[in-house]
């Protein structure tokens, strides 16, 4: 297993982002269309927050189908925006940090995603799913050499 590979090797570079003025309808649509669980909130390329699908589910009834609950969702979505539910000033990492260090950060802090920056500009996002895929790939490579 390669121990000091940089996170830039496994991070997602094709980012889906939102701005401070985006509404929760747009966030929900992106989560569902792109099949993602975390969206960085950016302002002129700088990360200022993160929103997760779990954050959105916590304030809504996304998993229900009752017409009454949909009306409640609409009311909540009309009152709150991305700005109100995002995690502000998330922990950021540099693209040169090792994958091992990222795994330690995620496990110790119970995060599921970290924004990756270079010169304070968002360049990627790394998630627990990225780490698990990398780990599985390493096991497969190792088993082929043994």
Q: What is the reported pTM? A: 0.86
What is the rounded average pLDDT of the residues 48-77? Answer: 72
Confidence check: pLDDT of 68 > 50: no
7-145: CATH number:
3.10.580.10
pLDDT at 40: 98
Domain limits, the chain: 7-145
The per-residue pLDDT for 138 is 87
Residues 27 and 85: their CA atoms lie apart, in Å, by: 11
The predicted structure's pLDDT at residue 30: 96
């Amino acid at each position: 297993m390669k121990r000091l590979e940089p996170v830039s090797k496994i991070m997602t570079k094709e980012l889906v982002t939102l701005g401070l003025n985006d509404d929760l309808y747009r966030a929900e649509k992106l989560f569902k269309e792109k099949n993602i669980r975390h969206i960085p909130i950016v302002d002129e390329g700088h990360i200022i927050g993160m929103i997760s699908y779990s954050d959105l589910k916590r304030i809504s009834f996304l998993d229900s189908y009752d017409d009454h609950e949909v009306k409640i969702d609409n009311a909540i979505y009309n009152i709150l925006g991305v700005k109100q539910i995002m995690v502000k000033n998330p922990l950021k990492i540099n693209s040169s940090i090792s994958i091992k260090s990222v795994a330690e950060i995620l496990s110790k802090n119970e995060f599921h995603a970290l924004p990756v920056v270079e010169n304070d500009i968002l360049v990627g996002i790394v998630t627990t799913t990225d780490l698990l895929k990398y780990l599985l790939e390493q096991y497969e490579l190792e088993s082929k050499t043994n």
